[in-house]
Homo-oligomer: A and B are copies of this chain.
């Protein structure tokens, strides 16, 4: 993890809407066959407008905290749990030493 990168990850997760996005995607992003969730469904579930959701998804995707996959005309999003857990785990380890 680069210097300054951890603050970026924590900051990205430290915003209510983005944290909710990760929380709703998490259980749908693991196991043998992750299913993910379409952008529109995330927006509906969270009660935010499409542009607002897209703004946050872009931020999360830039930091690779989510990944997207097209399915027809929908864009399916998945949480990158491996990266998130690695970042948090590294930080926890640093604090515990």
Contact = CB atoms under 8 A, between A and B. Distances in A.
A34 interface: no
Given A11-B14, A11-B15, A16-B7, A95 B91 contact: no
Contacts of A19: 6-7, 10
Interface stretch (A45-53, A69-77, A81-89): A81-89
A28 interface: no
Tally of this chain's copies: 2
Contacts of A8: 14
A91 B96 CA distance: 17
A67 interface: no
Contacts of A10: 10-11, 13-14, 19
Interface in A1-54: 4, 6-16, 19, 22-23, 26-27
Interface of A: 4, 6-16, 19, 22-23, 26-27, 79, 81, 84-85, 88-89, 91-92, 94-97
